[in-house]
Structure 1
Amino acid sequence: MNTTDLEALVAPVAAAHRLEVDRLEVMAAGKRSVVRIFLDGDGPDGHGPSLDQIAEATRELSGVLDAADITKGRPYTLEVSSRGVSRPLTEAKHFRRNTGRLVEFTLAESTLTGRVLGVVDDVVDVDVDGTAQRIPLDGVKRALVQVELNRPVAGEDEEEAEE
């Protein structure tokens, strides 16, 4: 089954869970196939899909794909995941879903890192070292979320954060 046909099966299930298909991969792995489905969406807090949404969609997708016999009787492994933080941000909705996160932007003439404040009319508002900057999406060559292991929580003082 090609990815266009697969997407026709997957997209309605994703939509029923308030998700959208980010990308699909079908690969041979010996005598099996691996079907990878990456989903995205706003989630309950507006910052991407929840684990519960992904799990519920996975259960339904498994039944739909089995019924459609997508691999013509050959065994397959189904992997369903969110889009993940390692994927580049390419659309306004990606930036909106990552509001509050630290993002490294590669622009035509420079690279900068700042916290996404929001998106309005295809312009990303970013806090760069305490200074607000507006970055048009069409000027962004690449944007990647930076993983923060010790990000301070708003409202916590330093003593509470150290405990």
Structure 2
Amino acid sequence: MGADRQAGELSAAVEAILAPAVSKIGFDLEGLKVTKAGRRLLVRVLVDKDGGISLDDVAVVSKACSKALDESDTAGGPFADAAYTLEVSSPGVDRPLTEPRHWRRNIGRLVAVQFGEEPVIGRVTAADKRGIELEADGVRRSATYAELGPGKVQIELR
């Protein structure tokens, strides 16, 4: 079995363990990557929630993830015979906006996005399960998620 396939299967096994643990405490699992770091495995977990996350939130999620992984190890889980390092963080401002929850969490922010073939920079004024509203150059525009490319939050210096 190739190393990429093994890494993919390991990541899928870890996600199956961590997604419910993270969701149970009110967070969304936004990303997960498992890589080898010498003899150890490095587990990088990205989480978010409405309103953003604080350092205290990172600590809470880290404890929940550690507990879930440790409990799975005693049941022959993916790390039963391997040491691992766990890193928990937020996705950061450079994460592409691809899910309705990403757009909802960025209402009020300036974003760059493809509206069909047209690149647009505007402020997100609304987002729901169907699509978004954006104000660009004084004009309100709306689109469904299917009509949009990934959005990118623009850094505004004041």
Which residue identity does 1:75 align to in structure 2? A
Q: Distance in 2 between matches of 1:24 and 1:10?
A: 9
Q: CA offsets per residue over residues 28-77 of structure 1, 9 Å max, x none?
A: 122221101111222xxxx3333322221112212332343343343321
Q: Which runs of 5+ in 1 are unaligned?
A: 151-163
Residue 125 of structure 2: which of 117, 124, 146 is its match? 117
Post-superposition offset of 1:121: 4.7
Deviation at 1:10, TM superposition (A): 0.9
Preserved contact between residue 103 and residue 115 of structure 1 (Cα < 8 Å): yes
1:140-162 per-residue CA deviation (whole Å, 9 max, x = no partner) reads: 12211112232xxxxxxxxxxxx
Task: Give the Cα–Cα distance (whole angstroms) in 1 for the partners of residues 155 and 30 of structure 2.
Answer: 21
Matches for 1:83-98 after TM superposition, within 5 Å: 83-98=91-106
Check the 8 A contact 1:104/1:111 in 2, yes or no. yes
2:69 maps to which of 65, 82, 101: 65
Spell out, residue by residue over 1:3-25, the C-alpha distance to the aligned partner (whole angstroms, 9 max, x if none). 23212221222122201212211
Which residue identity lines up with residue 53 of structure 1 in the other structure? Answer: D
Q: Percent identity?
A: 37
Q: Which amino acid aligns with 2:13?
A: D
User: 8 Å contact 1:107–1:142 — kept in the other structure?
Assistant: no
TM-score, normalised with respect to structure 2:
0.81
Give the letter for the 2:37 counterpart: A
TM-superposed deviation, 1:80: 0.9
Does residue 141 of structure 1 match 2:149? yes
Specify the alignment match of 2:57 in structure 1. 53
Question: Is contact 1:17–1:53 with CA below 8 Å preserved after alignment?
Answer: no
Structure 1 counterpart of 2:36? 28
Question: Matches of 2:80 and 2:28 in 1, distance apart?
Answer: 26
Residue number among 6, 11, 15 corresponding to 1:7 in the alignment: 15
TM-score by length of 1: 0.79
Matched, 1:101 2:92: no
Paired residue total: 146
Unpaired segments ≥5 residues, structure 2: 1-8
